């Protein structure tokens, strides 16, 4: 159960990193 929680936390962290990277790309396109 604890392992499952840890995996979900890692997955959400990856998702958050991906979304932030996506937003950074959009921001650069807007500024360009």
User: Using H for helix, E for strand and C for coil, what is the string for 1-32?
Assistant: CHHHHHHHHHHHHHHHHHHHHHHHHHHHHHHC
Domain residue ranges in the chain: 1-32
pLDDT of residue 12: 96
Half-sphere CA count of 11, side-chain side, radius 13 A:
6
Predicted structure pTM score: 0.60
Q: What is the mean pLDDT of residues 5-19?
A: 93
pLDDT of residue 5: 85
pLDDT, tens digit, 9 for 90 and up, residues 17-27 = 999 999 999 99
At residue 32 the predicted structure's pLDDT band, cuts being 50, 70 and 90, is: confident
Q: Is the pLDDT of residue 14 over 80?
A: yes
Cα–Cα distance between 14 and 9 in angstroms, integer?
Answer: 9
């Amino acid at each position: 159960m604890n392992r499952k929680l840890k995996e979900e936390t890692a997955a959400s962290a990856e998702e958050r990193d991906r979304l932030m990277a996506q937003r950074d790309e959009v921001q650069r396109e807007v500024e360009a």
